[in-house]
Amino acid sequence: MTFRLCFASWQLNLVCIVLLFAAGGAWAQSMSSPSDSSSSAARGLEAQSVGSPSTGSESGVGATSAKSRWPWLNSRLAGEFGVGFNGPIGNDLPDITWGYNLSAGAGLHLTKRLSLLGEFQFIGDKIPGRLMTIKGATLANTRIVSITLNPVVDLFPRRATSIYLTGGGGFYHKVTNFTSNNDADTGASSGLANTFSSNQGGANLGFGLEHRFFGVKSADRSAIFAETRYLFVNTPPTSAANGLGTTGLIPVTVGLRW
């Protein structure tokens, strides 16, 4: 009798232990499920953030790109600045001597091969003594200011060092001054003996050599250039009251462009 009671009590204890383990396992599973699901969701969100940019990242990109409102325009902007000398040619050979020139331009790179520049140029030349004697002057000079539109064609756009063709035309203003000097002791100038000025059209055509500092694969187009052009200006002929004949010059210029 006693043995039966002990065996029944042992069976009851075993069943209770099994039930307790089962209840504990179910409780542990119920407690771990939310964390697992939340970690899975977190992993999903992380993968989503890596795979595709979120709204925040898009706003960041927008803020970065906002620094440049016109990215296409900025990548195609072109410019140049140069200095050099020029010599006479053609009808101006006896009337103009050697001088200097300054030029600056701005425009667009339309393609890798073709650019379009609006250029400003200033040319200063002296007048030979023979002509000054005829005009009764001791000092004389010629000044030409021009605004032109000039295409530039790069013949080898895939090379860091390239040859290009350029030319164009536009507005030219030419002024020639003759200054008299009647005081031989002090050398003081008494004023203008005569002056000629005119506004007219003109054209130029030439070629140059360009070397890009950072190569053709770089977005930076900075380069050094050297070029020569033939410049023709349809200034009034010598028969006109304000004319010294048409102007022909060979400007040689070196400088930087981008």
Average pLDDT over residues 97-126: 95
Average pLDDT over residues 173-178: 89
Q: Encode 163-176: b = buried (16+ Cβ within 10 Å), e = exposed.
A: ebebbbbbebebeb
Contacts of 249 (CB under 8 A, 6+ apart): 86, 87, 88, 89, 92, 96, 123, 125, 230, 231, 233
Q: What is the CA radius of gyration of the chain?
A: 42
Q: Which of 242, 227, 10, 215 is nearest to 121 (CA)?
A: 227
How many of the other CB atoms lie within 10 Å of CB of 141?
16
Of all residues in the chain, the percent with pLDDT exceeding 90 is 41
> Is the predicted pLDDT of residue 143 greater than 90, yes or no?
yes
Contact 224, 254 (CB under 8 A): yes
pLDDT in tens, 59-104: 444 444 444 566 655 678 999 999 999 998 865 556 788 999 999 9
What is the predicted pLDDT for the residue at 136? 72
pLDDT in tens, 212-258: 999 888 888 899 999 999 999 988 876 676 666 788 899 999 999 99
**CA 11/CA 15 separation, integer angstroms:** 6
Write down the pTM of the prediction: 0.67
Place of tokens 């000092």: 139
The token pair at 23 is 């209840």
- Looking at 106-222, list the stretches that DSSP marks H as alpha helix, in order from N- to C-terminal side: 129-135
Determine whether 148 is exposed, middle or buried from the number of CB atoms within 10 Å of its CB (0-12, 13-18, 19+): buried
26-30, 31-35, 77-81, 140-144: which is most confident = 77-81
